[in-house]
Amino acid sequence: DDHIPSLGYAWTHTGFLDAFDAKAVRRGYQVYKEVCATCHSLEKIHFRELEGKTHSKEELIAMAAEIDVVDGPNDEGEMFERPGKLSDPLPKPYANEEAGRAANGGALPPDLSLMAKARHGGVDYIFALLTGYCDAPAGKVMLPGLYYNPYFAGGAIAMPPPLQDGQVEYADGTPATMSQMSRDVSVFLNWAAEPEHDERKLQGFKYLTVLGLTLAVTGYYKRFRWSTLK
């Protein structure tokens, strides 16, 4: 895995007390939904988990209701379609692996739920990959259907460059440059891989605070109790 440098991008959520940038998570969901979801699933995330993160509950109920979900079997033993609800996972682009490969020249777009954890470099890798497409160096032969990207192992990836300037329109007015969308979707995918991230840091902070206070009180008490023996 030595093809991924330690990039050290200036994320706002990686410090030990930093939470995710909520607006970036919301914009990143939009990029995922409008661009990446054409090819990639995010099967570990259910609509309800987005509540208070990217959208309000009412928005999510409406978003879920727009998709058709196959459910069943019912009392007659038949499968049926119903509108999506909050407990459903985000919709997958392909019915199965064969369909996914058939649509992508044999390569399978992986599920992105844990991608920010799965690859060496984590969220830095995702950002580097999305922004890293360039011309292949002279002499490198590229097979048809593969694109040069120095951050991908081997340098030849079956994913066409997914983001171009202005591809989405952000409701908050943020200019949708290629790098801005790459940053936002990277933050969103990092959130998806660690939905407990903010709560974990908050609880860790509380734990350390209480531990520190307890230590101080215990230390003071010990000095006081032992003072007659010294």
Establish if 42 lies at the interface with ligand HEM (CB under 6 A).
no
Q: How many residues bind ligand HEM (CB under 6 A)?
A: 24
Cβ 20 vs Cβ 198: under 8 Å: yes
List 160, 166, 204, 219, residue binding ligand HEM (CB under 6 A): 160
Establish if 185 lies at the interface with ligand HEM (CB under 6 A).
yes
Binding mask 74-113 for ligand HEM (x = CB under 6 A): ------------------------------x--x-xx-x-
- Nearest approach, Cβ of 89 to ligand HEM (angstroms)? 18
- Nearest approach, Cβ of 170 to ligand HEM (angstroms)? 14
Q: Measured between alpha carbons, how far is residue 114 from residues 44, 73, 98, 186, 189 in Å?
A: 8, 30, 21, 12, 8
Establish if 114 lies at the interface with ligand HEM (CB under 6 A).
no
Establish if 158 lies at the interface with ligand HEM (CB under 6 A).
yes
Those residues whose C-beta lies under 8 Å from the C-beta of residue 4, and which sit 6 or more positions away, are 119, 120, 121, 124, 125, 128, 151
Question: Sign (positive/negative) of CA torsion 168, 172, 175, 179?
Answer: negative
Establish if 159 lies at the interface with ligand HEM (CB under 6 A).
yes
Establish if 40 lies at the interface with ligand HEM (CB under 6 A).
yes
Q: What torsion do the CA atoms of 90, 94, 98, 100 make, to the nearest 10 degrees?
A: -90
- Nearest approach, Cβ of 156 to ligand HEM (angstroms)? 7
Q: How far apart are CA 110 and CA 158, in angstroms?
A: 12
In the numeric block, the tokens 């599920």 are attached to 111
Establish if 35 lies at the interface with ligand HEM (CB under 6 A).
yes
Q: How far apart are CA 204 and CA 201, in angstroms?
A: 5
Establish if 38 lies at the interface with ligand HEM (CB under 6 A).
yes
Contact positions toward ligand HEM, by CB under 6 A? 31, 35-36, 38-40, 104, 107, 109-110, 112, 115, 119, 126, 129-130, 152, 157-160, 162-163, 185
